[in-house]
Amino acid sequence: MPVADAKDGSAVPEREAEGMDRSRHMEDELREQNERFSAAVENMSHGLCMFDADERMIICNGNYINIFCLDAKVVRPGIHFIDILRHSVDIGIASQTADELYAIRKPYIDQAKPSTYEETLSDGRIINISHRPLALGGWVSIYEDITVQRRAEQDLKEQHRRFDAALANMSQGLLMYDADGKMIVRNRRFLELYNVTATDFPLGTTHRDALERLLELGIYTKIDVDSEVAKTEACLAAAKTHSAYRHLTDGRTVLVTRRPMSGGGWVVTFDDVTERRRTEERMTHLAHHDTLTGLPNRQMFRERLDHALEDASAPLAIFSLDLDRFKAINDTWGHPAGDWLLKSVADRLQRCLRSETDIVARFGGDEFVIIEFNLKSIADAEKLAKRVVEAIAKPFRDKSRDMHVGISLGIAVFPDDGSDADTLLKNADTALYRAKSEGHNLYRFFEPGMDAMVLARRALETDLEAALPRQEFDLDFQPIMNIASSEIVGAEALMRWHSPERGTMAPDKFIPVAEETGLIVPLGEWALRKACTAAASWPAGLRIAVNVSAVQLKSGGFARSVISALAFSGVPAGRLELEITETVLMDESETVLKTLRQLRELGIRIALDDFGTGYSSLGYLRRFPVDKIKIDRSFIHDLGNRDTAAIVRTVIGLGAELGITVTAEGVETEAQLDILRGNGCTEAQGYLIGVPSRAADIQRLLKTTAAFGSG
Ligand code: C2E
Ligand code: MG
Ligand code: MG
């Protein structure tokens, strides 16, 4: 030890030795400290660089070199700061020039307080730089590569932005609750939807409070808050979505859907489905109802019937209904009037029902169907059928006119006439068909065996349809005689159908069918033309009588077809006589009367056929002055009866009084002719005078016996 050495009187004085010791010791300590410092600097995770007051580098660590990709051989202690910057520009890591970089850094260097800033390198990395001035001048910079962190932050920010945009722009209202049941998200649409403010529903509001607030504000009509909270809890526990409709006091409907979130808490969405629900309701209504009358349609009727039959314990009746003469109404008055009539019929039918549960449906056109439930007896069905017939028989009066239609009904009863909907409907249709073929304003119950009759009738319709193009129709002519002069004054055209399958058919067999199918219109037109053409070759002055159906008169265009037949044949209007029946005049249709008047003005004569068989009301004679009355042959056949003879006498007297020709139909005996002559009847027609004959035969007859030139 140097101290001991000194005591011994050695060469080194004690103090000096002491001083040397201390300084060596300090040197050691300093070296050690330096090593520790270097080790710490070298091992720190950030880059570090220290500069002296002359801006020369004192020390830097490997991370600093690495971060800036510097060359350690160039960047060594003693290098000036500006040279480091130049080097970094040289190696291409700096994104600006050295001078620019220096100009940016200089204010920080000169500043006496610590500062932090960021620098972006040419490769896109972001370096955070912490600048600390040193007490004796110079500074220390700590460098940290924060690229990853910054990117993550930016991504998060972008995600937030997108989330906010989505939330603000979604068409649904949205609330999000955290695991503690507190509201953490609420979008604008939610506030708009319920017309509430953010202060009504601040974030942090609990689910229960939110529900209570909606009730308080009078937005929801009625909800049970406890049960709603319980429902949410159940939906969270089961991790299942739950949806329910909420009815708002303002009439709107909102679909509320709760969806649990995987990390706890849940999302509620609110969807205003008012319009959608209304459209859906409208669609279902449309799909199940007839648009014109608002009655249930075929589909709904079928559903109800099928359903009723599934557990039917009591009998029920199916009524198949069809309007009579509806086509004529449509043709005469136009479709708006037809539509109005159908609506009025629908109303009346509905009023005929006695039970809330009974249904009347429209199947289309003028077809309606009724189900009468809980039949106690057949008499119930019969009563309803009668009510319907009566209700529809009354005239339908709209603003300007009275319309007359009738209705026919076919009835099938469950379980007697069928156990399923198809059979019952088919059988009701069969019964309807029967009712229609028997006349108008009738109801018929289904009976076994009716099907065969219906099939036969359908076959007749089909054959009849084909007969006109196949030219199977022909006309016979029956002469008409003036009783006073015993001269033939004309002939009536009577239609015949020479069917290859059915033989020759009398008009009574097929005219009603042709009237129903509408075939009578072209058929009648054909008859007119054919009759006039035949009459053209008869001696001038002889009349031709043609029968005209009410359907033809109502079909529109009738006058035109008459005029065209006259023009075609060259027969003057004064030789044509149109025979109509009472029903034509009974129908108070203005167009029909107008047509008849128009024809009469042309000089065509109108005869009232089958007089006495219809309603025999004389009222219509006043409304439309006919030229001739034809007493039905049933009266002539019965002339032996005193009462009948009195009626015939009265009609002849009436004719004379009104200046109308009276023709007796079906005169078969001289005795009948004598009585008629005795009573002053104008004309006679019947087998006694002449049977209906082929055109050629009648022409021969007329040429020999006719009253030439008489009118
Ligand atoms: P209608 O106009 O009253 O014709 C007279 C009917 O009496 C004819 O029957 C005729 O053959 C029949 N008849 C004539 N004299 C006698 C007789 O002395 N004794 C008997 N028992 N019968 C006699 P038809 O030809 O069967 O015609 C029946 C009905 O068919 C006609 O009655 C008429 O209403 C209708 N009809 C005939 N042709 C046409 C037509 O072209 N168009 C339309 N719409 N109806 C027609
Ligand atoms: Mg006739
Ligand atoms: Mg007649």
Boundaries of every domain in the chain: 18-146, 170-277, 290-446, 467-702
- Rounded CA gap, 707 and 711, in Å? 9
The fraction of the chain above a pLDDT of 70, given in percent, is: 96
Ligand 1: distance of its center to the CA of 699 in Å?
19
Structure tokens at 137: 């001048």
CA of 693 to the centre of ligand 1 (A): 12
Give the ligand 1 atom nearest the CA of 478.
14
Q: Are 2 and 12 in contact (CB under 8 A)?
A: yes
Give the Cα separation of 575 and 235 in Å (integer): 93
Q: Whose CA is nearest to atom 3 of ligand 1?
A: 610
* Structure tokens given for 555: 């079909």
- Distance of alpha carbon 254 from alpha carbon 245, whole angstroms: 6
Where does the pLDDT of residue 7 fall: very low under 50, low under 70, confident under 90, or very high at 90 and above? very low
User: What are 187-216's pLDDT values in tens digits?
Assistant: 999 999 999 999 999 999 999 999 999 989
Residue 10 to residue 3: CA distance in whole angstroms? 10
Which residue has better confidence, 704 or 255? Answer: 255
Centre of ligand 2 from the C-alpha of residue 578, in Å: 9
CA proximity to 139, closest of 261, 49, 61, 34: 49
Tell how far CA 376 is from the center of its chain.
39
Rounded to an integer, the average pLDDT of 321-343 is: 87
User: Is the pLDDT confidence value at 9 over 60?
Assistant: no
Which residue CA neighbors atom 22 of ligand 1 most closely? 666
Ligand 1 pocket list (CB less than 6 A): 478, 493-495, 506-508, 511, 524, 527, 547-549, 579, 609-610, 633, 665-666, 668, 686-687, 692
CA of 677 to the centre of ligand 3 (A): 19
Name 341's Cβ contacts closer than 8 Å, sequence gap at least 6: 326, 329, 396, 398, 403, 405
Residue nearest to atom 8 of ligand 1 (CA): 494
Which ligand 1 atom lies nearest to the CA of residue 687? 18
Band (pLDDT 50/70/90 cuts) for residue 454 is confident
Q: Tell how far the Cα of 172 is from the centroid of ligand 2, in angstroms.
A: 78
| Residue 549 alpha carbon, nearest atom of ligand 1 | 44
pLDDT in tens, 146-177: 999 999 999 999 999 999 899 889 999 999 99
Q: Please check the confidence at residue 250 and state whether its pLDDT lies above 70.
A: yes
pLDDT at 492 over 80: yes
Q: Which atom, in ligand 1's list, is nearest to the CA of 552?
A: 44
Q: Tens digit of pLDDT for each residue in 50-80?
A: 999 999 999 999 999 999 999 999 999 999 9
Say how many Å lie between the CA of residue 579 and the centre of ligand 2. Answer: 6
pLDDT above 80 (res 710):
no
Give the pLDDT band of residue 570 (cuts 50, 70, 90). very high
pLDDT at 1 over 80: no
**Assigned token pair, 24:** 């060596």
Identical fold at 18-146 and 170-277?
yes
Distance 693 CA to ligand 2 centre (A): 15
Q: Tell me, what's the pLDDT at 10?
A: 53
Q: How many Å lie between the centroid of ligand 1 and the Cα of residue 593?
A: 24
CATH code for the domain defined by 170-277? 3.30.450.20
Which residue puts its alpha carbon closest to atom 41 of ligand 1? Answer: 495
Average pLDDT, the chain: 90
Of residues 326 and 708, the one with the higher pLDDT is 326
Give the contacts of 710 (CB within 8 A, at least 6 positions apart): 482, 485, 487, 489, 541
Identify the pLDDT of residue 552: 92
Q: Which ranges of 638-689 would DSSP assign to H, the alpha helix?
A: 642-658, 670-678
pLDDT tens across 668-680, in order? 999 999 999 999 9
| Alpha-carbon torsion (668, 673, 679, 681), positive or negative | positive
pLDDT at 453 over 70: yes
pLDDT for 588: 59
Tell me the CATH class for 290-446: alpha beta
Q: Report which ligand 1 atom has the smallest distance to the Cα of 579.
A: 2
**Ligand 1 atom nearest to CA at 495:** 38
Cα 609 to middle of ligand 2, angstroms = 5
Ligand 1 nearest-atom number relative to CA 632: 3
User: What is the CATH architecture of 467-702?
Assistant: Alpha-Beta Barrel (3.20)
Q: How far is the CA of 629 from the centre of ligand 3 (A)?
A: 10
Pocket test for ligand 1, best of 547, 578, 579, 580 (most atoms within 8 A of CB): 547
Judged by DSSP in three states, 300 sits in: helix
Q: Which atom in ligand 1 lies closest to the alpha carbon of residue 685?
A: 15
Mean pLDDT of 236-254: 91
Is the pLDDT higher at 86 or at 451? Answer: 86
Ligand nearest to the CA of 478: 1
**Residue 258 burial by CB count (10 A; 0-12/13-18/19+): exposed, middle or buried?**
buried
* Least distant ligand from the CA of 545: 2
646 Cα: distance to centroid of ligand 1 (angstroms): 24
The distance of Cα 108 from the centroid of its chain, to the nearest Å, equals 77
Please state, in angstroms and rounded to a whole number, the distance separating the CA atoms of residues 648 and 665.
11
Average pLDDT rounded to a whole number, residues 310-329:
88
- Mutation to probe ligand 1, out of 494, 517, 525 (largest number of atoms < 8 A from CB): 494
Tell me the CA–centroid distance for residue 607 and ligand 1, in Å. 14
Pair of tokens at residue 486: 């015993």
Question: What pLDDT sits at residue 12?
Answer: 61
More confident residue, 5 or 67: 67
Q: So what's the pLDDT on residue 616?
A: 57
Cα dihedral 587, 590, 591, 596, rounded to 10, equals 80
Write the single-letter amino acid at 321: L
Which tens digit of pLDDT belongs to each residue from 611-664?
Answer: 888 665 677 777 788 999 999 999 999 999 999 999 999 999 999 998 999 999
Vertex 335 angle, CA 332 and 338, to 5°: 80
Of 421, 418, 407, 419, nearest in space to 451 by CA:
418
Residue 327 reports pLDDT greater than 90 = no
Specify the residue with its C-alpha closest to ligand 1, atom 45. 547
Task: Please give the distance of CA 495 from its chain centroid, rounded to a whole number.
Answer: 49
- Nearest-angstrom CA–CA distance, 460 and 639: 37
Of 553, 631, 665, 676, the residue with max ligand 1 atoms within 8 A of its CB, to mutate for a pocket test, comes to 665
Query: Are 688 and 480 in contact, with CB atoms under 8 Å apart?
Result: no
What's the pLDDT score for residue 98? 93
List Cα–Cα distances, 144 to 102, 107, 129, 149, 180, in angstroms. 19, 20, 7, 11, 40
| CB half-sphere exposure, 347, CA atoms < 13 A | 7
For residue 634, give the ligand nearest its CA: 1
CA distances from 335 to 285, 338, 339, 393, 660 (A): 24, 5, 6, 20, 38
Instruction: Output phi, psi for 710, to 5 deg.
Output: -75, 155
For the chain, what is the radius of gyration of the CA atoms?
56
What is the arrangement of strands in the sheet containing 47-51, beginning at the earlier edge strand? Answer: 57-60, 47-51, 139-145, 126-133, 115-120
Chain centroid to CA 109: 81
Cα–Cα nearest to 621, from 594, 660, 649, 650? 660
pLDDT at 89: 94
Question: What are the CA-CA distances from residue 49 to residues 63, 84, 530 (Å)?
Answer: 10, 11, 126
Q: What pLDDT, on a 0 to 100 scale, did the predictor assign at position 6? A: 41
Q: Mean pLDDT throughout 98-123?
A: 91
- For residue 494, give the ligand nearest its CA: 1
Asked if pLDDT for residue 587 goes beyond 70, the answer is: no
Collapsing DSSP to helix, strand or coil, 273 comes out as: coil
Least confident of 7-16, 108-117, 524-533, 546-555: 7-16
Please state the rounded mean pLDDT for residues 396-416: 90
Using one digit for the tens of pLDDT, what is the confidence trace for 21-36? 888 888 999 999 888 9
User: pLDDT tens across 358-374, in order?
Assistant: 999 999 899 999 999 99
User: How many Cβ atoms are within 10 Å of 580's Cβ, its own excluded?
Assistant: 22
Look at ligand 1, atom 17, and give the residue with the nearest C-alpha: 666
CA of 545 to the centre of ligand 2 (A): 8
| Residue pair 477/689 in contact by the 8 Å Cβ criterion | no
CATH superfamily label, 18-146: PAS domain (3.30.450.20)
Q: Alpha-carbon distance 93 to 481, whole Å?
A: 132
Judging by beta carbons within 10 Å of its beta carbon (0-12, 13-18, 19+), is residue 140 exposed, middle or buried?
middle
Is 85:94 a contact under the CB 8 Å cutoff?
A: yes
Cα separation, 183 vs 152, in Å, equals 27
Name the token pair of 512: 């009603």
pTM of the model: 0.54
CA-closest residue to ligand 1 atom 37: 494
Bridge partners, residue 694, by sequence: 476
Percent of the chain with pLDDT over 90: 70
Q: Cα(276) to centroid of ligand 3, in Å?
A: 65
The first and second tokens of residue 102, run together, are 């220096």
Q: Name which residue sits closest to atom 20 of ligand 1, judged by CA.
A: 666
